Structure 1
């Protein structure tokens, strides 16, 4: 949720958080809780494919992460139908949320290496400072003063670090969803999607028919590929990464992310340094297509080799 919503300061959820310390309204807190519940549901559609398809390598993870992106942008909001299937569902959410925030950061943290955690935290903080200078809501390029951004960065980072702490605390609890649980989340997801569809109108599905067709094609290819991979998977499951404990001091080092972001944002703000956000979005968009193609190739090569060796 952090990388989806709060790495930006120009979207509604971020504006709600900012409203918490700009007024006495509790709307921001309510929005945060509501969004957390939604993302808990979206995360289920990452964990279930990881478990069911026995995902054990980076390339299979990249394909499976698409289910999370589609759930995020297509269950309670219609972005994959009205705008684009690939941005941000199959690009930002896959690359930033799953690969960076969930997978790569976990691999760094379980090393319990002060150097690695410091480098990762500062790098994310510096990028955050530049990314936060972009705004398409207001004509003004900066919507937060350096002081306001510091408070915002600390509040939202506290939520991220708390999430990492909870994952570490629950690391010995193995994720083994029962059929009844899968059915429950499937029904809940379908109900929310139908509710969204009733509000937006059934014409939503044909408003941009290309997106709907691409969605069906993607789901078909992804499910068939991962099901074939499941039958030959021999690597240790990626979910087992969470069994390794993380030192408490390693979690504290993550505070360098909001602190370095706040320091860099001061210079970005005063010297009006604008990142080429359009170029960054284009690169992420394009690279997601390339990585998806590579991932499909690598997984199918593994499948063919395994079948050949039988």
Structure 2
């Protein structure tokens, strides 16, 4: 029990590092005044709440796991910041579902773990290289594109590449350290307590209310609790205490750690990202990657979310559910 409690800070820090690397440092230019420790703590606590929900609602399959990831996306964009309800319905999908749920959790944790653990060497190389190249293309837009609010016209103002390189390498360090530590301290059956569950929800609700109050967007604020409650309802309906957790898709994420030597191939992520980014900037090729990501990741993530809700809603309710 003491050992389990002692692992909590490591769980928070390591999972937070995975989330914050992709959702912040690999997503857009982080302002210098933003505290790196502060955003790591915010992502870590919300990520820990996600892990608590996964355990307490006995999430076993991919459909329910994506619903839980969607809930995390809504919390990320609604607790520390008011983005989630700043412009519904668009902000219900972007970035909560299309980035945080689909790319950060889906690709950056689940797919990454599966490929790195079970994929052949060629698949590992192609995945890391493609992920890095995608991030390089994406950031060449995010760091340099300026949109005219009145006309919607996009223009590019090119700047030195070194700030991007420095920030991306910080993100890579967090991503690598996060995975190395997290998969050695996390178990889907950690024995998380009801006190932690309710305490984290109270803390999240308090900060969300303060954020909503400060933003002045109280008219749209109910969008956040409604979407979170929809996710929790689906997860509760899907919970099956009568089924063994061993052998489930979620349990498989913790069964086998990534061999240490395979982490060498993750160097392709910063190499391909920085190489692609520098090429785009030096050639001044302005691709509207924002639109491309939204029109692809948006429908995919929304479809997965609706599919997850549908699968959870059809689950048989039995006594003993969470």
Give the TM-score category using the shorter length.
0.7 to 0.9
Q: Cα distance, 1:190 vs. partner?
A: 2.5
Match of 1:75 in 2: 79
More displaced stretch, 109-118 vs 252-261:
109-118
Task: Provide the C-alpha distance between the structure 1 equivalents of 2:178 and 2:113, rounded to a whole number of angstroms.
Answer: 12
Where 2:287 maps in the other structure, the secondary structure is coil
Given that 1:6 and 1:156 are in contact with CA atoms closer than 8 Å, whether structure 2 keeps it comes out as yes
Closer, same or farther in 2 for the Cα pair 1:158/1:60, shift >3 Å? same
Task: Decide which of 272, 275, 288 is 2:287's aligned counterpart.
Answer: 275
1:135 equivalent in structure 2: 142
Q: Give the Cα separation in 1 of the matches to 2:284 and 2:26.
A: 19
CA RMSD of aligned residues (A): 2.7
The aligned counterpart of 1:3 is 22
The 1:237–1:120 alpha-carbon spacing in structure 2 relative to 1, beyond 3 Å, is closer
Q: Shift in Å at residue 173 of structure 1? A: 8.6
Which residue number in structure 1 is paired with residue 262 of structure 2? 250
Contact 2:43 2:76 in 1 (8 A): yes
Query: Matches of residues 1-310 of structure 1 in structure 2 within 5 Å?
Result: 1-10=20-29, 13=30, 15-16=31-32, 27=33, 31-83=35-87, 84-111=91-118, 113-135=120-142, 139=146, 141=156, 144-171=159-186, 174-201=189-216, 204-206=217-219, 208=220, 212=222, 214-231=223-240, 233-234=243-244, 236=248, 238-276=250-288, 277-301=290-314, 303=315
Contact 2:28 2:139 survives alignment (8 Å): yes
- Relative distance call for 1:160 and 1:284 in structure 2 (3 A) is same
Deviation string for 1:62-113 (max 9, x for gaps)?
Answer: 1111221111011121112222222211221110111111211111222274
Gap regions ≥5 residues in structure 1: 17-26
Residues of 2 paired with 1:266 and 1:88: CA distance?
Answer: 26
2:190 counterpart SS class:
coil
Q: Which runs of 5+ in 2 are unaligned?
A: 1-19, 147-154
| TM-score (normalizing by structure 1) | 0.81
Q: Which secondary structure state, in structure 2, belongs to the residue aligned with residue 273 of structure 1?
A: coil
Matched positions, count: 284
User: Normalising by structure 2, what TM-score?
Assistant: 0.78
